[in-house]
A and B are shown apart, each in its own frame.
Chain A
Amino acid sequence: MHGLVNRSIQCFLRDTYGAELWVKVASEAAIPAAGFEALLSYDDGLTDAVIVAAARRLGKPREALLEDVGIYLAGLEPLRRLLRFGGVDYVDFLQSLDELPERVRLAVPELDIPDLVLTPAGAGRYTLTCRARHSGFAAVFAGILRAMADDYGALVLIEAGTEESDPASVSIELLEARFAAGRHFDLAGPARS
């Protein structure tokens, strides 16, 4: 798994639950406490070991933990901005998700994120399908979609697929596109010094 994915989980655990928890999880997963480098690649088994160890320590289901990772990621300003480039409103953003893997590849060619397909499912309803090597991505995207709805000021119901339905899918129901003001987005970020 790419270091960016591993480091995302690491930073989520550290920022949300404290460095102490991260050190325990790292030790349980048999990785150095310094953790992952964002631009190197690691064995998939390490990612699973971290997720399993963290879920057990926190007493949380794995899917809920991964959904929180998604919410955390969309709350990081640089990532939020990159996601907001996708569209002018939430529906536009949803429509742009098919392009997201291609956008990611433009940025980091080695980062293998799942193919995303958005299918309309009736008025204001959509299904996002994540076809990935790793089964955890759908839950992470459910979290990202939830956080981005707040960012755009849209009122939505998001439900990650279950084992019974389809674990690789997320269902989205748009209740109100402009429910709240949403957060501000400038197309060009602040000038870098």
Chain B
Amino acid sequence: MMDGNPHSDTALLADTDLGRLMPMYLWVAPSGHIRSVGGTLAKLCDGFALTGMRFLEVFEIRKPARVQSMEELRALAGQRLHLALREPPRTPLRGLVVPLQEGQGVLVNLSFGIAVADAVREHALTNADFAPTDLTVELLYLTEVKAAVMEELAALNRRLQVAQRAAEAQALTDALTGLANRRALDQELQRAIDGMERGSAGFALMQIDLDYFKSVNDTLGHGAGDLVLTLVANALRAATRRHDIIARVGGDEFVLILPGPIDEAMITRIARRVIDDIEQPVVFEGQTCRVSASIGVTLSRFYDRPDADWMLHDADAALYASKRRGRARCTIYAPGMEEGETDGPDCGPPEPDWP
């Protein structure tokens, strides 16, 4: 091209060499007709020959302004153009226009935008379709390697998350019974108390101590003790609702958090069922073990500002009132109970019928 140029100091360049430097160039005549194109651009528009077509009929210029005429195109010289093929797949492109000498029209160079991988796939481009100076292939390499590394990172994160969840569950679970442990109870109790500030319906705190458990352990061994504890845990699960919290907080001590609007009658029902279930004889290696349970309960509505330690202390006082009155029963906390002055409502059987 540019033969016949009168200026001797202008570099003369053959079409093929221009295409080697810029495989996606177009030379557009002043009339708006395409005079020659680079090889890669020709490949993009396979199916029709670009040479001889009107540039603005093949490409739609979207930014920085819509372009209708060659004058408007020349006016955008030097700016970054956003354009696209008018025909499917409407590949988006970036471009730069530079005016040529008078009467020669303009030179347009194009490249793919950020969606280069889609374009390369769509048009089956190869390494040879890019100038050796072009970093597009490196960009494709990076896209691919980044995806691989991200995938590996995501897998690592998933493995760590599973391990973390398992460790957390382990840290909050009593290994023998699968119930919550002391740490979990402290968290849940605080959560229940905090919930009251947000207007929850309150909760009951129930402390359960096994009666005669020590003698099972001492006479029949730890195997029997472990079996009894496992069955007690099952009895507690059966007697409570799904969202109640059951924790084993000591050798033979359990604490329940029963959320919701709960009254004394409901507590009595739950306590009776728990005591009845726990009193079922357990056979271990041919020997029968019998235990029972003493229960103390306090309710969050007894307090203006419920406090975890305070409530646990009161539930414990009610529990000891149950023990004092002969075990196998449930007592709901009342003020002054610690000193043994009042024993509060008794929800247990009138007389322990066992042992």
Contacts and interface: CB of A to CB of B under 8 A. Distances in A.
Contacts of B140: 85, 187-188
Interface residues of B, number: 24
A123 interface: no
Given A37-B156, A38-B156, A188-B117, A82 B141 contact: yes
Interface string A79-99: 001100101100000000000
Interface in A171-193: 186-192
A187 B156 contact: no
B156 A107 contact: no
Nearest to B117: A188
B118 interface: yes
Q: How many interface residues does chain A have, given as a range?
A: 20 to 34
A120 interface: no
Q: Which of B125, B146, B148 has the most CB of A within 10 A?
A: B148
Given A88-B127, A191-B121, A39 B145 contact: no
B238 interface: no
Nearest to A86: B141
A187 B149 contact: no
B334 interface: no
A124 interface: no
A100 B124 CA distance: 25
A49 to B, nearest CB: 23
B145 A187 contact: no
Contact of A88 (B128, B138, B144, B145): B128
A189 B117 CA distance: 8
11 contacts: A39-B149, A78-B148, A82-B145, A82-B148, A85-B137, A85-B140, A88-B126, A103-B138, A186-B124, A187-B120, A187-B127
Interface of A: 37-39, 78, 81-82, 85, 87-88, 103, 106-108, 186-192
